[in-house]
Structure 1
Amino acid sequence: MRVTILGTGAIAGTHAEAIAALPQHGVDAVLAHALDIDPARAEAFAQQYGVAGHGTDLADVLADTDVLHVCTPPGAHVDAAVAALEAGVHVVVEKPATLSLAEIDRIAAAEAASTATFTQVVQHRFGHGLRQLRRLLDDGALGRPLVATCDTMWFRAPEYFEVPWRGRWDTEGGGPTMGHGIHQFDLLLAVLGPWSEVTAMAGRLARHVDTEDVSMAIVRFANGAMATITNSLLSPRETSDLRFDTEAATIELSHLYGYDDADWTFTPAKDRADVGALWQPDPAALPSGHLAQLLPTYRAFVAGEAPPVTVADVRGTLELVAAIYRSAFTGAVVRAGEIGPGDPFHESMRGIGPAWAPVKATAPAPA
């Protein structure tokens, strides 16, 4: 399969390395084109990763592309994805897939009319520990899931937001809820399934941005489980932590930007020592990461099957993002399915807007 990367910033290198590794695992793929609005950056990327073609125009290469990886800032995802799907090209986008529910619905419509499929990178779903936990829950070996916590406690210094598109609703779609914590609570959804209602708060406490820099939510799931979610960019000791309490055990994951089996802790309930042997590491498993997701994804592309992360999965996670913002900015409980066309939070994660004032651009110094 011939692959094109659109956008050659930092994350594109991770994609290029994962694509280069696919043939070692039996997937015949080659990175054929690297595109960027900056032609010099596209050329430098092509030289670094041994890519034969480079340029600036997606339309020029769609006829020679089987899979498009969209690694641009989030605001440019939807037009590129729709163009590719209309050309019959599979699409892999970085998170967040879009800036709004309206945009993911537009992509879903384009996929429905296409011979190609769409997926988003949520690489943490594909680590061995997560897959093992999901299997044990599906088998009923751990009993019902009851309580969970999901904390993305990261730190981004003020300088991080000097990049023009960061910290803005119109280009990034939101703050840590949208762009950072989404990986962890996507894992939460992968384990606990559909959510039913959410109550949330958000604040701009310390960064000179339009979006929030902290949010917190309480979520009830359709299966009755309850969870808390915290997303922060103000936490000097950075961690990504998830905890799941089931009837038979507590299962914990503590990492930062990726995990392997050593990052999990399994604690049986005092009266359920029998479940301790169920949790087993797999030394041969790939760590969570882009390659771990791309392998089953490309195999699905080749087989003409739906990818393991579908557009419906992506929408479910984005709907939770929108619900967190809607609850935080309106003070109301938000239930699944409430945010549809005509709702301001369907068109933009900002919705009716937070109580704080937007950051005003600094006026140029007098000549």
Structure 2
Amino acid sequence: MFVTTSHPSHRKPVRVAIVGTGAIARGSHLPALTALAAGQPLEIVAAVDVDAAAVEAFCAEAGIPHPYTDLGRMLAEQCPDLVTLATPPRFHRDQTVAALRAGAWVWCEKPPCPSLEDFDAIEAAESPGDGPYAAIVFQHRFGSGARHVRELLAGQAMGRPLVAHCQTTWYRDEAYYSVPWRGRWSSEGGGPTMGHGIHQMDLLLDLLGPWSEIRAMAGRLVHDVETEDVSTALVRFENGAVATVVNSVLSPDEVSRIRIDCERATVELTHLYGHRNADWRITPAPGVPPEEADVWRDFGPDVPSSHEAQLTGLLEDLRAGRRPRSSGADGRKSLELVAALYKAAFTGATVRAGEIGPGDPYYGALHGNAPGWAPQPADRPADQSTARPVEQPAEAPA
């Protein structure tokens, strides 16, 4: 049964609940909410965690009035307008659907969920029209730099985009993977392709638009894990541009990078976990008038990419009752590219946009039950429905 609620006016506070009280909640969700609450009607009314001591401590430290260990009870008693999910991917589908059915909008930490099938189930639980909707945390596409470059590319101010490079080369040591749930399909949701590189891949899609086909390879070169620890891909976009994608947790010199070569300029972003205007560089082609290049390089006031930047827009959409960015088809496109990369890597075939649907093994699981990659039966958890939502990695942006 779906419960509908009226949308908060600009005078009525938006009631927010945080689900999961680990590192990502403390390091990103709570600070973003607290910053925005200082300038607009917003109140954090509750937090949820299956660890009673953890949620009580979290609420006491943050001044949140109502700690809960049961999501359903919290939804029934507090009737929040917005639920932010800071739990591992395997819990996202059930928690998101429960919140949507209670009339709450959802802001869900990436990775969105372990499969396209799960994502489609979430979208089916939304209420078309004025919501509620579920949006994914893809904060790298927000902020002044990404907005400015997106507008330049959309208007082809620098000419057609031709060649792109998308790089997430990070480093994770054995201590990182000593945590039992890491490196497992059921709990981490995938390797660096899903858990780390999805941020830059999402930004690349947001800048270049729809992709058409992908070829890929993946490997376990260092770590003894179920998932990959490195992947590479070649992607063709509908606009004709071609791109290389590299995702790694084997790289001591860590960097996140996007480079797009257009007919009249190269635009490049180099950062690690978040970017500002100064992290973008535009190099004009020979013959481009300096005054035109100066216009391209004028990014305006600096708004860093952040949870706060994305949440600002989401709250505006919630109050207006309109679908937010990174929800529905806009949120699904990055997960579809991830699923297609895994399918291309594990099968050796070229995968085309839109081909992974019901009946395809990669629709229900990102590993696609591929020999050598799927979890063995003895490794698969029998029932995760009551498992404790383990804390997200200390590296909040990951």
In structure 2, the partner of 1:23 is 37
Residue 302 (1) aligns with residue 302 (2): no
In structure 1, the partner of 2:223 is 207
In structure 1, the partner of 2:189 is 173
Change (3 A) 1:281 1:335: same
Query: Contact 1:240–1:254 at 8 Å: present in 2 too?
Result: yes
Pairing partner for 1:48 from 34, 38, 61: 61
Amino acid at match of 1:106: A
How much has 1:331 moved relative to structure 2?
0.5
In structure 2, the partner of 1:8 is 21
In structure 2, the partner of 1:135 is 151
For 1:91 and 1:202, the matched residues in 2 are separated by 32
Pairing partner for 2:163 from 131, 147, 152: 147
Residue 34 (1) aligns with residue 47 (2): yes
In structure 2, the partner of 1:190 is 206
Query: Contact 1:173–1:348 at 8 Å: present in 2 too?
Result: no
Deviations for 1:39-81, whole angstroms, at most 9, x for unmatched residues?
1111111122221111211111214211000100110111000
Amino acid at match of 2:54: R
Superposition pairs for residues 1-367 of structure 1, below 5 Å? 1-13=14-26, 14-25=28-39, 27-63=40-76, 64=78, 65-112=80-127, 115-274=131-290, 275-282=292-299, 284-353=301-370, 355=372
How much has 1:111 moved relative to structure 2?
0.7
User: What TM-score, normalized to structure 2?
Assistant: 0.87
For 2:176 and 2:271, the matched residues in 1 are separated by 22
**Tell me, what secondary structure is at the counterpart of 1:313?**
helix
Amino acid at match of 1:119: A
In structure 2, the partner of 1:364 is none
In structure 1, the partner of 2:390 is none
Query: Contact 1:158–1:208 at 8 Å: present in 2 too?
Result: no
For 2:331 and 2:139, the matched residues in 1 are separated by 13
User: What TM-score, normalized to structure 1?
Assistant: 0.94
How much has 1:28 moved relative to structure 2?
1.5
Amino acid at match of 1:70: L
Deviations for 1:341-365, whole angstroms, at most 9, x for unmatched residues?
010000000003253685887xxxx
Amino acid at match of 2:56: E
**Tell me, what secondary structure is at the counterpart of 1:241?**
strand
Deviations for 1:290-335, whole angstroms, at most 9, x for unmatched residues?
0000001101101111112222112111110010000101000000
For 1:23 and 1:222, the matched residues in 2 are separated by 41
In structure 1, the partner of 2:396 is none
For 2:50 and 2:247, the matched residues in 1 are separated by 32
Comparing 265-274 with 241-250, greater Cα deviation is found at: 265-274
Comparing 198-207 with 35-44, greater Cα deviation is found at: 35-44
Change (3 A) 1:141 1:353: same
How much has 1:279 moved relative to structure 2?
2.6
Query: Contact 1:74–1:172 at 8 Å: present in 2 too?
Result: yes
For 2:165 and 2:297, the matched residues in 1 are separated by 23
Change (3 A) 1:356 1:122: closer
Query: Contact 2:163–2:261 at 8 Å: present in 1 too?
Result: yes
**Tell me, what secondary structure is at the counterpart of 2:90?**
helix
How much has 1:281 moved relative to structure 2?
4.6
**Tell me, what secondary structure is at the counterpart of 1:328?**
helix
